[in-house]
Chain A
Amino acid sequence: MGIAVALIVQGGQMMLVLLLAPLLTGLVRKIKARLLRRQGPSVIQPYRDLLRLLRKEVVLAQTASPVFRAAPYVIFAAIWVAAALVPTFATGLMFSWSADLIAIVALLGTARFMLALAGLDVGTSFGGIGSSREMMIASLAEPAMLMVVFTLSLVAQTTQLSSIARFMLEHSVGLRVSLAMAVVALLMVAIAENARIPVDNPATHLELTMVHEAMVLEYSGRHLAMIELGAALKLLLYVSLIGCLFLPWGLARAGDDPSAYLLAILLYLAKLAAGGGLLAVFETSIAKMRVFRVPEFLGAALMLGLLAALLLFVSKSF
């Protein structure tokens, strides 16, 4: 009985993130369009796009190797596993023991590595530019992310996501300037990782400064569908991650009755909508920065992460 319920909840969480991811992307696009006083496509447009792409045939370059064909599935699988590990509406799930923050960073790193390889594989110069830029961004975003992880694990004494969320919920953490810095650093990393506006423009692939779109330019059909779904899942992952680490209220715990789970799911949806809305407002209100400013932006995130850990070290020593 217990195992069956745990399996259902865990499976439900995996399907939930998969089903919600395109909706979140659609919501962000819709709000952005409305802010620009455009009508904008429907919120469910990303689902239609994915279906259309799945039905279309795949066009492969002659120079494409098996890596190019395998990469979309590896990327999608890695991001899906990472997104399914983040506690969205409940802690203490069946696989929560493996939901280690460092493991999630590693899974995302794997996905990024495969994407960069795929960008290089066909041999177009555009893909190469995209890959090299992606690596430049990653070389700063990943250490910044790890510093945030260290700060959180110093506070909560664990790197397991589920336990961190429980800790934040149950202990009064007090006024922690380190956590404020960590959340700002995590937001900056999230913006860079999801190719959102100050770093990259997700809405176009007609720009010379683009990063993500340059790498996936050669993909078509179901391969492109996998990559787009992966990108949507990644956005959902970061919003859920920030939600469960810094706003963990309303998370259900293992053994709660179904109504608690239902309430937690509704709260999670509200958190997602709020996150998407804030992202849209933020993206509309600022301009894209030059590519060579991006290291400074991410350097600031890294600096905030390092400083957060250092300050925590000072306040912990008393």
Chain B
Amino acid sequence: MHSFQFDVAHLLASGLVLASFMLLYQDRMFGVINVFVLHAVLLAMAVAWQAYVQDAPHLYITAAIALVFKGTVIPVALYRIVRRLDIHRNIEKVVGVGSTMLIGIGLVSLSIAVMLPVTHRAGAFTSEDLVFALAVVLLGLLMMTTRRNAVSQVIGFMSLENGLILAAAGAKGMPLVVEISVAFSVLIAFIVIGVFLFRIRERFDSVDVQALDRFRGDRG
């Protein structure tokens, strides 16, 4: 039968998957950022719970990094970028909400079908964490492909990275140095993307990446 510890881990990890779906569903800029804060807080809680269950104190540091950077610094910076770019209007999507949700459900079932048999012998906690981590990664990818707005693509990328952290927390024995360097590389990536956003905006007067399509070679 299930232990209480497993139930809480399941609750937090599946909450993360649900938050990914909320990111897909949400179509207002500030709404997306708020949901992303929720995503980061859930990730921090899930990682902290893994730290408690596995008795691995260094995971608490990972959780704290997630809470500080993903939950505070990056959203605040995104708020300021959105305000400066003046894009509070709706996000245009490539596909509608309904089909995005269906594809998302398909991706979740795919990750269950792929990961569950492979990781079944690694124990309930690791296996379940890896299943949901893969789901969050795939949903982040989906968000990056269905949005045309560069800012929401950045948020898709960040939520994808949250999935990677969840996977790292689930797998026992991941050294702290790796996690810290991943966290900082994401921060660097964020800064680079931020600069890039303003460059796109300067060039095309919009952050709609559709504008870049003209410069693809194969279209002529």
How many residues of chain B get a CB closer than 8 Å to chain A's CBs? 29
A318 vs B132: C-alpha distance when bound (angstroms): 15
How many residues of chain A get a CB closer than 8 Å to chain B's CBs? 21
> Of B4, B7, B105, B131, which one neighbours A314 at CB under 8 angstroms?
B131
Chain A residues whose C-beta falls within 8 Å of the C-beta of B59 in the assembled complex: none
Instruction: Verify A314–B128 contact, CB threshold 8 A.
Output: yes
A selection of 25 A-B contacts at a CB cut-off of 8 Å is: A174-B2, A175-B4, A176-B7, A177-B11, A177-B15, A296-B25, A296-B97, A299-B97, A300-B101, A303-B21, A303-B101, A303-B102, A303-B104, A307-B14, A310-B112, A311-B10, A313-B112, A314-B10, A314-B14, A314-B112, A314-B128, A314-B131, A315-B7, A315-B10, A317-B120
Interface status of B127 (Cβ within 8 A of chain A): yes
Instruction: Verify B105–A318 contact, CB threshold 8 A.
Output: no
> Of A177, A295, A296, A302, which one neighbours B14 at CB under 8 angstroms?
A177
> Of A174, A178, A318, which one neighbours B128 at CB under 8 angstroms?
A318
A311 vs B131: C-alpha distance when bound (angstroms): 10
Q: Mark B4-43, 1 if CB is under 8 A from A, else 0.
A: 1011101100110110010001000000000000000000
Chain A residues whose C-beta falls within 8 Å of the C-beta of B102 in the assembled complex: 303
* 11 other A-B residue contacts (CB within 8 Å) besides A174-B4, A300-B101: A177-B10, A177-B11, A177-B15, A303-B101, A306-B105, A307-B21, A310-B112, A311-B17, A314-B10, A315-B128, A318-B124
Tell me what chain A mostly uses at the interface: helix, strand, loop, or mixed. helix
A180 vs B105: C-alpha distance when bound (angstroms): 18
Instruction: Verify B98–A174 contact, CB threshold 8 A.
Output: no
Nearest B-chain residue to A313, judged by Cβ? B112
Interface status of B116 (Cβ within 8 A of chain A): yes
B binding-site residues for A, Cβ under 8 Å: 2, 4, 6-8, 10-11, 14-15, 17-18, 21, 25, 97-98, 101-102, 104-105, 108-109, 112, 116, 120, 124, 127-128, 131-132
Tell me what chain B mostly uses at the interface: helix, strand, loop, or mixed. helix
A binding-site residues for B, Cβ under 8 Å: 174-178, 181, 295-296, 299-300, 302-303, 306-307, 310-311, 313-315, 317-318
Chain B residues whose C-beta falls within 8 Å of the C-beta of A307 in the assembled complex: 14, 17-18, 21, 105, 108
Instruction: Verify B7–A175 contact, CB threshold 8 A.
Output: yes
Chain A residues whose C-beta falls within 8 Å of the C-beta of B116 in the assembled complex: 314, 317
A177 vs B8: C-alpha distance when bound (angstroms): 9
Instruction: Verify A315–B98 contact, CB threshold 8 A.
Output: no
A178 vs B2: C-alpha distance when bound (angstroms): 14
Instruction: Verify B105–A175 contact, CB threshold 8 A.
Output: no
A311 vs B11: C-alpha distance when bound (angstroms): 10
> Of B98, B108, B131, which one neighbours A296 at CB under 8 angstroms?
B98
Q: How far is the CB of B166 from chain A (nearest CB, A)?
A: 14
Question: A299, A302, A311, A314: which has the most chain B beta carbons within 10 Å?
Answer: A314
